[in-house]
Structure formats: structure tokens, C-alpha cells
Copies of this chain bind each other. A is one copy, B any other.
Amino acid sequence: MAHADVIGAAEDRVFAALASPVRREVLRMLRDQGPQPVAEMAGHFDMARPSFSEHLRVLREAGLVSERKVGRRRYYRLEAVPLHEVQEWLNPFERYWRERLAGLRDVLDSLPDDPEGASS
């Protein structure tokens, strides 16, 4: 069935989009500061404008952002629903890291106090 392939391809694009630190930072900026035009975001990155445009294209094709034209600006906006799909992918793993974190906490609790952090 082709439907599952399309879903799968969409999932691939979302995970691939998140693989870049630049693109994750863009999502964070849109989350914390709301919709913004390109120049506002691009100013935070040491990168030529077309390179930044390319990152926006990857985010757009993953469905993670949308754009709205206002005059000669394009406001980009966070579209968070695909991130929900990522979380759903993660959910079945949760019990495994909870086990591990619980085990780690037990070990730490059994160590002598060391408020200064003597590691190194």
C-alpha cells in the first residue's frame, strides 16, 4: 500500500530536517519569538542568505514551518504537528530510558556527598 510509504517518507523528512543544529535552532526561535521574517532569523547565523534559504526549504518540505507573505517580507511560522509524530515515535522507548535513569539515580544516591564535583 502506497499510503504507508508516503507516511514513512514524511517521517524521514522530519527526522532528516531535525538532524541539522541550524534547523533545530530555527525551530526554537520560531517557538520562542513567534513568526518572523527571514532576515530577522538569518541574522543569528554566520551564513550566506541562500544557504539559510535552503535550510528553510528543508523545514518547509518537512512541514515544520509555513510562510505567509506580508508586503515584501515572508513571515515564517512554526508548524509543530510533525514534532508530535516524532514524539509518538519516541513514546515506546520511554520505559527503557526510565529504567536506566532510575538505576542511575539509585547509584548516585548510594555515593558519598561531593558538592564540589571532583570529576576531572
User: Is the pair B80, A100 in contact by a Cβ cutoff of 8 Å?
Assistant: yes
**CA A8 to CA B28, docked complex, whole Å:** 15
Query: How many copies of this chain are found per oligomer?
Result: 2
With both beta carbons as reference points, the residue of chain B lying nearest to A9 in the complex is identified as B21
Across-interface contacts of A81 in B (CB, < 8 A): 97, 100-101
Interface residue SS majority, chain A: helix
**CA A86 to CA B101, docked complex, whole Å:** 15
Interface residues of chain A, those whose CB is within 8 Å of chain B, are: 8, 11-12, 15-16, 18-19, 21, 24, 27-28, 31, 78-81, 83-84, 86-87, 89-90, 92-94, 96-97, 100-101
Across-interface contacts of A12 in B (CB, < 8 A): 21
